[in-house]
Structures are given as structure tokens and as C-alpha cells.
Amino acid sequence: MGDDPHHKDRLAHARVGSYFLGPKAENFHILSELMGKVLEDQRTVRQNLYHDDPEFITSSMMQASTYTESIDELRGHVNTLSEKLALHSIPFWSPRYNAHMNMDVALPSIIGYMATMMYNPNNVATEASPLTTEKERTVGKDLCKMLGYRKRGNVTPWGHITCDGSVANLEAIWAIRNLKFYPLSLKLAIGENESKGIDPPLQFLADANPPFLVENCKGEKKPFIQLDTWELLNLKPSTVLELPTRLTNEYSITAQFLQDALKPYLIQTVGKDYLERRFDIETSGKFFLSTTKHYSWPKGGAISGIGSDNFINVAVDEDARMDIKDLQKHLDNCIHNRIPVYGGVAIMGSTEHGACDPLAALVRLRRDYEAKGLSFAIHADAAWGGYFASLIDHSVKGSPPNDLLPLVPALALQPYTMEQLQYLEFADSITIDPHKSGYINYPAGGLCYRDERMKYLITWTSPIVFHANDEKGSMGVYGVEGSKPGAAAVATWLTHKMLKLTPNGYGRLLGEAVFTCTKLYCHWATMTRAEDDLIVCPLIRLPSEKKGLSERDIESEKQRIREKILSVTNEQLFDDPDSMDFLSELGGDLMINAFACNFKVNGKVNDDVNEANYLNQRIFERLSVTSMDDVVAKRPLFLTSSTFGEATYGKCLETYKRRLQLVHGENPARGDLSYLVNVTMSPWPTDRDFLNKLAEDFRRVANEEVEKCIIRNRIEPDFHGFVMQGLEQIHLVHIPMFHMANHRWQLIVTADFPEDAKQCYQQLRKENPDKFYTVANTEKELLEDMVKHGADIVWRLDEGIPKDGKEPIMTFKLTNIHVVVRESMFFNALDQTYPDRMPFHLYGSKAEAHLDHVLKKAPNGMISVDNVKLALEPQLSDEQLAQGVIAVLEDVFENAIQPLPLDGSNISLAAPGLNLALGKTHKASVYESYEAFKGGSAPISKGDITLGGLSGRRISRAKPRRHPEHPASPAHVRAYKLPSDADYLRLAVLDLSEFLWTVPAIVGTIVILVVTPNTSNAGGMRIAFYCTQFFLAQGNMIISLVTRNIAGQTKKGIIMTLVFVGWVVGNLVAPQIFQEKDAPRYLPGFIVHLVVYGVYLLLVGVTRIVLLARNRHKAAQVAEISHDLAFQDLTDREHPNFRYVY
């Protein structure tokens, strides 16, 4: 023990073990003991505080039936609630949870919150929360100290608890906005530009001797009254906050008088627009923050009246951090155009990838621009990253040795990140969330000010919550909120007291979590191997990638990670200084890994962003819980997901796509990219066995989803259905699919039919004008081979959509196939937005012209129209129509109505806005090509198009289907979406056979009962007996009903065992109802038969009702059936896509 070099780290990790209830409730006895103390004290104080008061809930009341019934009802609700919480709550406490910023909350937080909650203090006013207000004030001081805020001269920091980071950010916006306009209000109160019709209350300052000198941001001192608007808008924040203090010190103006004098001119009173008009401010001020900002910033802009458009995105670099050079461009523009700047915001740990913006560079940049005459406030949004400031102090005290304890090293933050945290003390305000990296119960956000005087800019008091001599104690008059729970403040205070905001406290806990997260990063970075179809790529590059080294060097670095980090124990790793130093260079800034997956098909890397997104979304759905139907226990680990927007992430995303090999030609494939996120806050899973297991679970799930992606994207022979249009020159319109590579083509062809086939089709259309007809290949073929000149393909003609096994009307071969339209529907060929007006391919001849909806964005609908009437000027020639043109319906605004309106599962072609009803006339413009339409070229013709027969189907990102796809009717308005997953899902069908097969048995039994047998009716009685045997068919139907409505291997096995046990018992019991004493007619036995028939029919009816209800419930929960969970062992109740058959 004495020789163990790791004794300090072992004991440090053991102390971390005391902070939490534990993944397996290891510390439950501690919680039970301490909560028992809390509950006992609650009882004691209620019983003894006013011991002379009588009991109000008497024993006789407790014996009343209404009382006992109410308590029993409460017990029932609590029992049910507790069971449901246990079943459906997300296991944040488990090391398997790596999704959002959640983990097991600290044990002191649980106890502090629950203990305080029972007293329900409200920190809006000291009189409602004397103790918890004091605790909140202490928490604020502790947070300020940890963040680097210190009392300097007359500048004292201050902080308080908010409900969350969003409200803290809103408060910061509010304070910074008021700070910016405070000098303008003061100038109005002195008399400059005054127009409120009152004598300026501070007019005497205009002629004060000595004058009130103020230093502008360039360092030049001037009389305040001589500062111009631009200088007033760019006073340093510290200078503005000094103004009221200096007025008191230099001119003996009391705080109350100054407050009353300024009130009529403050932005709080008159609003931003008034002040901007009074001072001729033409362009409103801006906030600058990186594109990775939290959504609360533009929301705060909307609430504060600044406007979300004035929160300007600053580009990010390849590590998703603010690009300071891009910020410089924005600031230069502000100087040139005299645009005021409210503030610059540094994100200290972005929500989605943990990136730390360069706060140090931002602080230096403000200093440089103040020399140019531009100043602004700096806010650090450290909602996630704030508690990592506890790592700044590196002094460590020793501990006695103990080599029996597990070892989990704490990993230091990277030097860049540490530098940014050290610069927090220069920010004017900081958002910090105890309920994130502070491991505190919700709700507990926080906001700290470098100078407490900033809080007075947003102070609101009310006589009911603010009383005399309450200035130092009250916390509720500052900020956005009114009522707020004292429990949150106490939970934070007690956790700070126990964990301590030091490197050996929070620093140790977070250091161990950083170690865990970085090892998980190592798994993502090395998971891809050359032989795999799965590609995993983290956003943050390896050191070799950042240095621009060769692929060989990168692979060598990955192998080093596999051998030196992932294949050794924590102790072996800790004993290898080189590997520990190398580990500290890996991963992101603050405990979050963003990564994405791609895949290969037949060795070729997928270059379609949409398909990569599909894979990542499928993985996310497998590793998350998004509804009550999802089974928590079946998730081997938990991740979350987000999206990299092209406009938002710019070059960062371009680089990332190249690393994922999402490259189309020489350029990165276009489109926003979905990706996965793991936030690892747990110190527990870092030993190799458990973490390796999590990584293997991920690999298994990802590979299963890759197999589905390969099916979607493998180009191989398949069946292809075509709509038939026209009578003389027959056009064939291919049924496309966005989700299957085999079918991602919008294709229209003409062909010569054998005369007998053509005449058959024409006769069928004549005899059945309400029906539609399709053709398809009889053997699987590649689509490109089917339309080649001289293709030798056997085709089949069908009415509508043929069911499996149905014989075709006839088969034949086509000749002289000519392609009219061939447009790719692969993602890289699609538009990013829907067209403003709805375009159609127009083709055929003047005698027979047809339309087919242009499909350039998913999801969409195939809408085909044959035999339209054209009234265009100038008229289109047969040659133009034979080649095909684009007809745009000027009165159908596609972008406004996409996704297309549905009537149930079908496209509602007659819906307002779409209005594609039979016989409807539309204004149309005709263009030579789709590119001409999109490029703004002039139309070649204009006029009216009257619709003939229509067919329509919805095309979405549905799932694979093996059978040929066919269209809806071209003779009527008919629309429906593509059926999906025929191989994996059971769709409900109405089946009366359960009833019908019982009827002969009932009739036969009744005949036997009521007719006395004799020689003359022997034949009829024999037939009656035979009729009773029809019931034997029910045995197969019962087995079919059971097997088709039970899912999950375990459940199905148990149920089928019970069915056969019942079958055996029934066969043993049934003969006993035919007793010898009842011979020869055995009437009691046949009466029992009738009763059994009745009970059977009743049960079938009840079963139908129950299954209908279950299907309706499932349909309400899942809008569109998919086979995402097809390969999971889920029961029929658990599987959201399962549908019952009855």
C-alpha cells in the first residue's frame, strides 16, 4: 500500500463515489438515513413550534370514510405514478446515458432540494425566504469566486440563481441593452435633446464647475455634455457603471434623486425606439456571437425588443469555435457605418459540440477596437463550461495510500481551453448553469456580474415583495423572474459545500468525466477500419489531421490509440506518461463529442448527404427514447443528435464532409448534415471492459442500420412499374422512389406495343373508363437496361395494382423504346427548396398531351395527368411536345403547400391551393426546360391547361419494398402514398372468415338438435353432421390469429405454448360431454357445442374491437409506419409500428 504511486487518485475517486446515489443505488442507505432525519425534523417543527395550538386534523376525521378513501386514492395514484416513473423515466444515473447534459444529480443536491422543498420558500422576497435568500447570496459569491471575479477597488462582483440558462441569457441581454443606452438617458436628463416638456432635472450639471469629465473609450477625457452620440454609445462598460457613483461622490447627488431624475428618460420607460429617434441612430445596435449559439439568444432578442435579426452570426473555424477574423470584419463594418455594438458573446462550451470560443482573443480584440472608438460589453455564455473553471487552481494536497480502491484518472483540459476559462474574469457578465455541469437538480441556472452595479440596471421593486432595509438581503427584485424556489438555491449551496469549487472537488469530478469522454472520443475516432462498411468520424480532428499529415500517418495514430489507450487498463494508461500526454491532446474542448456516420456500398463510399442523414437518424432513433412506446431497457446506450446547417457552419462543415468522404466531384456534397452527440458527465465507465462494451453496442446497432442503408442504395435488378398514358402514342411514366437507389429516376418513355397488346389496352380503356392500367417487367431488371435500344424485356399488363400472385392480363415485348424525360432524383441532383409555382413535364402531341409533376425535392408526390387540353399561345408544335417541355401552373404555389395536403394517406388533389380536380383549368407558362424556368428565362408560351384524367401518389423517404410499384388511376383524381415495408409489417385487413366458417357448424348443430333422425332423412342428417366439421377450420384460424398478433420471440413462444396446452386440454375434455346415458342423440353434448360457438363468436367480436382500438392508438402515436425497429425483439405492445390483424 505504501508503495502505491496512485494512492491520491484512488482516494480522490473514492470521494467522488460519495457524491452520488450511484448507478446501482449504492448509496441509497445514505439517502434514506438523511431524508429520514429531514422528515423527522419536519414532523418535530410542526408539532412543537406552536405547541399550545390544537390539532386541526383530528383522529375522528382520520377515521371518517371520506378521509380513508381519499388517502387510499392517494396511495393508488402514488403507487401507479412511481411505477410509471421507474418504467418510463430516462436513466440519467446510468453510465450508459451519454445523450444530453444530464447525469445522476449530486446526492447533496437531492437532499438539499427535497429538504427545502417541504418548507416551500420563495426567494422573491426575504420575508418569504430568510434562510434560502442567504444561501442564494452565498451561492452567488461562490460562483463569482470560482469564475475569477474578485473585488477590485469599488467594483464588487455579484451573482444569483435563475431558473435556467435561457433566462440568465435574457437577463444579460436586458442588462447590456440598458447599459448601452444609459449615457443617452443621462444626457437627456441633463438637458441635451430634451423634448419631454419638463425641466431637465439634472440641468445644473450642464454648467457644473468643475465640469463632469468622462473618459471616452479612446482614453480621451471630455466634459460629459460635449460627448457626441457615437462616443456616448461607445463608453466602456466600466465607465458607464461608474457614472452614478461618480455623480454621488463628485456632486453629492443622492442615489434616490438620481434614480427619480433618470426614470423619465431610461430605456425602461421610453423604449429603445424613442432613444434611437432622439439621437438620430439610423441603424440599431448588434450583438455578435458564433453560429453555434444557443437558441435562447435570438429568442432573447425578440423578447427584449432588440430583434433577433440584430443577433449576428460570426463564422466558426474547423473546430466549431468563433472565427475572430470574421468578427473583425463585422466590427470594421460597424465602425465604418456607425453601427453601435451591444456586445460580443463567447460561448464557453457549445451545447452541441462543447467548443469554447476564443474569449481571450475577444477580450484583446475589444481593447484594440476601443482604441478605434468602438466599445461593447462581453458576455460569456458558460452555461455548460462555467464549472470547469474549478480546474484552474492546480494545487493538490496529498492523501494516505490505499491500493485496494479503483483508479480513475482525472484528465486536464487542453491548454487552449484553460486559457479561455482564465479569461472569464474579464467578461462583464457570465451565464452559468448549476443544473448542467454543476450536477444540481432542475431548475438552477445562474448569472454573475463582474460589477454588481449592473444589477441596478434591471431592478424592479414592488411594495409587496420589497420593504425598507431589504436592499442587502433581497435577491428577488433583480432579474427577470418573480417567484422562484428557494430549494434550488439550497441544493446548489449544499452541493458546493460538499463537492467544493476547487480542483480537488468539482475539478476532480469534471476531470474524471473529461477522461471518460476523451476515451469515448478515442472509440469514435478509431472505430472505422478499412474492411468495414461503417464509417465513423468525430468532428474534432486527430492531431495528425490538424497537422495535415498523410493518410498513412493518420492510420498509424489511430493504431496507437487502439493499442496504447483503448487496450489497456486505467492503471496501465496512468503509468504511461507519453500516452497520458497524448490522450490530453485528443477530443474537444469541454466533454462533448460530436460525430457522424457514413457507409459503403460494395466498397464504394456513399456520397449522398441525404443517405448519411438517414443512417444517423436511424441510429439516433435506436439509441434514444422519444415516446412512451419506446422501451428504455432495450437501449444499450443513449445518444442524441443535431444538424450542421450549411449556412451556419460554412467551411467547418465543408471540411467535415470531406473527412466523411461526402464528396460529389471535387466539392463537398451539398446539404445540411445530421450528426450524433454524446455528452459524457459520468466518472464511472472508464475502465476498458465497460466502455468497450458500450462502443461495441454502438457498433452493432450502427452496422444493423448500415445494412438497411445498403439495401436502399444498392443498384441491382428490381421490378419497375409504369403508368400508361394516352391511347395512340402510349407513354409510360415510371413510378419513382426517393428512398431506393434503384428507383431514384423520374423517367418517361414511349414504346411500340405489339398490335394485339395495344388493341387489348385500348379496348380495356374504352370498356373501363374508371380504371387505370400499368405495365411492369416480369423479371427483375436494371432500370437503365430496360430502356436501352433493343432491350429484350418481357412486360406484363395489369389493371391497377396487381396483388401478389395475380396473373397479368397479358405479357409481351416492347420495341423502339424512346426516352422523353430522364431526371435523377438522387439527393445531389435535387433542389434545396420547393419551386414557388408547381412545374410539370408536358409531353406527347397536340392530339394527346400529358403532364407529370416535376420532382425536385423530397418528400413529394407523383401527380400524372393524361389527355390534357392545351389552349396556349403560341401553340406548341408536335416536335416540341415529343421532346418534352416544362409547364408551370401559375396558380398552384407549390412551396406554400408542401408537403402536399393529404386526405388520410392519399394526396388530396382537390384541396384548396392544389385544386387539381378533373376538368379544372389552370393558367400556365411553358418553358423549354426546368433550368430555364428556375433561371428566370422568359416562357416560350402562355395560356390555359385543362386537366384530363389524373393519378397521384405521395413519395416520401419511405422504406424498402420488394414488389413492383404501380400508380393510381389515370381516369380519376386518385392519390395515395407509397405502401412501405410490406416485408416487415402487418397491415390491418378486414376478415370476416372467422364468422363465416362458423355458420355451417352452427346450422348443422341446430339441425341435429331439432330434427329427429329416421331413414327418410338420413342423407340430410349426414350433411348436417358434415357441416359441423367446418368448425375444424377455426383451429387454423385461431393459430393464425394468435401468431399474426403476437410479436417478440419470448412472448410469442410463451403464448404459443399456452395455445397448444389449451388445445390438448380441450381435446381431453371435449369427449367427456358426450356421455353414454345421452345416447343415441347426445343432445346435451350438441347444446354445449352451440354454447361454445356463441362464446367463440363473442370473443372474436371483442377481440376485433380491442385490436381496432389498439391500432387506432398506435396510429395516433406514429404518423407513418416504418420498419426502423423491424429487427428488434419487441412485443406487439412495445413495437410502435406493429399493426394487428383481425
Task: Give the pLDDT band of residue 687 (cuts 50, 70, 90).
Answer: low
Q: CA-CA distance, 1014 to 383, in Å (whole number)? A: 95
Task: Give the pLDDT band of residue 966 (cuts 50, 70, 90).
Answer: very low
What is the DSSP code (8-state) at residue 1108? H
Least confident of 301-310, 555-564, 665-674, 1018-1027: 1018-1027
What are the distances in angstroms from CA 425 to CA 321, 387, 438? Answer: 20, 14, 19
197 vs 745: which has the higher pLDDT? 745
Please, which contacts does 793-799 make with residues 24 or more away whose CB atoms are closer than 8 Å?
A: 797/757, 797/760, 797/761, 797/773, 798/773, 798/774, 798/966, 799/764, 799/768, 799/771, 799/772, 799/773
Percent with pLDDT over 70 in the chain: 90
Q: What is the pLDDT of residue 1117?
A: 63
The overall average pLDDT reported for the chain is 86
**Dihedral pair phi/psi, residue 480, rounded to 5°:** -80, -40
Task: Give the pLDDT band of residue 283 (cuts 50, 70, 90).
Answer: very high
Q: Dihedral of CA 999/1000/1005/1011: which sign?
A: positive
| Beta strand 429-432 pairing with 377-382 | parallel
Residues 757-782 have a mean pLDDT of 91
The torsion angle over the Cα atoms of residues 788, 790, 792 and 793, rounded to 10 degrees, is 40
Residues 644-653 have a mean pLDDT of 91
Taking only the tens place, the pLDDT of each residue in 1035-1044 is: 766 776 777 7
Least confident of 14-23, 761-770, 1008-1017: 1008-1017
Q: What is the pLDDT of residue 975?
A: 39
pLDDT of residue 607 exceeding 60:
yes
**Dihedral pair phi/psi, residue 448, rounded to 5°:** -120, 140
What is the DSSP code (8-state) at residue 908? -
pLDDT of residue 989 exceeding 50:
no
Task: Give the pLDDT band of residue 633 (cuts 50, 70, 90).
Answer: confident
Q: Write down the pTM of the prediction.
A: 0.78
Query: First and final CA of the chain: distance in angstroms?
Result: 70
Do residues 695 and 562 lie in contact, with contact meaning Cβ atoms separated by under 8 Å?
no
pLDDT of residue 14 exceeding 50:
yes
The answer for 214, left when phi > 0, alpha when psi is -120 to 50, beta otherwise, is beta
Residues 318-344 have a mean pLDDT of 96
Residues 829-835 have a mean pLDDT of 91
Task: Give the pLDDT band of residue 898 (cuts 50, 70, 90).
Answer: very high
Half-sphere exposure of 946 (CA within 13 A, CB side): 4
Q: Dihedral of CA 636/102/360/304: which sign?
A: positive
Residues 124-148 have a mean pLDDT of 91
Percent with pLDDT over 90 in the chain: 61
Q: What is the pLDDT of residue 196?
A: 57
Cβ neighbour number for residue 1083 with a 10 Å cutoff: 11
pLDDT of residue 1127 exceeding 60:
no
Residue the block writes with cell 432500370: 783
Residues 388-407 have a mean pLDDT of 57
Return the domain boundaries, the chain.
Answer: 182-278, 506-712, 723-977, 993-1117
Do residues 402 and 4 lie in contact, with contact meaning Cβ atoms separated by under 8 Å?
yes
Do residues 251 and 463 lie in contact, with contact meaning Cβ atoms separated by under 8 Å?
no
Q: What is the pLDDT of residue 398?
A: 40
Residues 604-608 have a mean pLDDT of 93
Q: CA-CA distance, 269 to 250, in Å (whole number)? A: 27
Cβ neighbour number for residue 1003 with a 10 Å cutoff: 14
Cβ neighbour number for residue 319 with a 10 Å cutoff: 17
Cβ neighbour number for residue 841 with a 10 Å cutoff: 22
Question: Degrees (nearest 5) of the Cα angle 630, 634, 636?
Answer: 120
pLDDT of residue 396 exceeding 70:
no
Task: Give the pLDDT band of residue 990 (cuts 50, 70, 90).
Answer: very low
Taking only the tens place, the pLDDT of each residue in 481-539 is: 888 999 999 999 999 999 999 998 999 999 999 999 999 999 999 999 888 999 999 99
Task: Give the pLDDT band of residue 848 (cuts 50, 70, 90).
Answer: very high
Alpha carbon 1024 to chain centroid, angstroms:
64
Task: Give the pLDDT band of residue 1139 (cuts 50, 70, 90).
Answer: confident
Task: Give the pLDDT band of residue 461 (cuts 50, 70, 90).
Answer: low
Do residues 232 and 187 lie in contact, with contact meaning Cβ atoms separated by under 8 Å?
yes
Q: What is the pLDDT of residue 1129?
A: 61
Q: Measuring CA to CA, which residue among 371, 315, 400 is closest to residue 11? A: 400
Task: Give the pLDDT band of residue 31 (cuts 50, 70, 90).
Answer: very high
Q: What is the pLDDT of residue 12?
A: 85
Q: What is the pLDDT of residue 981?
A: 30
Q: With b meaning 16 or more CB within 10 Å and e meaning fewer, what string describes 123-140?
A: bbbbebbeebbbbbbebb
Task: Give the pLDDT band of residue 469 (cuts 50, 70, 90).
Answer: low
What is the DSSP code (8-state) at residue 1010? H
Q: Which amino acid is at 1126?
A: A
